[in-house]
Amino acid sequence: MQANPSLLRAMNELRIQLTKRRDGDVVLRCIRADGSATWQRHRGRQAGFFPLHDLTHYAVETELGFGRGFYGLIAEGWDIEDTGVSPTRGPLPPEALIVEHIVGSLDVQRADGSTWTAGDFNERVARFAATRGLAPPRAFTEDDVTRLRSRLRELLARWAALPAGEMLELPFDRRQAPAP
C-alpha cells in the first residue's frame, strides 16, 4: 500500500521516491517540505545495488533514530551529490559517517549471508568511530537490531514486488525518530 502523497507533503520533512523504470534504471528522488528536490538515476549494476542501499539507509535512519544520516542531510538541503566528496559542503558530519558504516555493514551482510548480533554491531561501530576520532552512538540492543532487520526485510520485499514503471514512496521525518 502506497502512502497518500498529500499527507506526506503536509507532515514530513522529506518524501523519498524510488522509481523502478521500465528500462531497468532506477530513479531516487527526494522532495523536501519546501518543495525543492534532488534526484539521481542509477543504471546497469548500480540499478541493482543502490535501491537496496538506499532502503537500508531509510531503515537505519528511521529505526535507529539518526537525524543526520543521508536522508537527514537531504532534508537539511544537501543535494545527493553533496553526500559524496563535496567541494561545496565539505566533509560529511560525524553522524553521517557512522550511518554510512552501519549501512555498508548491512550491505555486506546481505551479500555474504552473515547476521551480526547487537554486540557485533556495537563492537564494529565503536572500532570504526575510534579509528576516525568520532564518538560512537548509543549502544544498540538486540531489540534495536531485530526491529531494524524487520523493517529492512519489509522494505526490500516491497521493492522486490514493485512492478517496473511503479514508484515506492516513503515519508521521512527526523522529528519522529528516537535519538541515537
The angle, 0 to 180 degrees and rounded to 10, between the axes of the packed helices 142-161 and 118-131 is 90
Identify the three-state secondary structure at position 106.
helix
pTM of this structure:
0.90
- Which three cell numbers, joined as nine digits, stand for 150? 524487520
Q: What is the CA radius of gyration of the chain?
A: 16
Cβ contact 77:13 at 8 Å: no
Domains of the chain by residue range: 5-175
Give, for all 180 residues of the chain, the pLDDT tens digit.
344 444 444 568 999 999 999 999 999 999 999 999 999 999 999 999 999 999 999 999 999 999 999 999 999 999 999 987 766 777 899 999 999 999 999 999 999 999 999 999 999 999 999 999 999 999 999 999 999 999 999 999 999 999 999 999 999 998 665 555
> Torsion-angle region of residue 139: left (phi > 0), alpha (psi -120 to 50) or beta?
beta
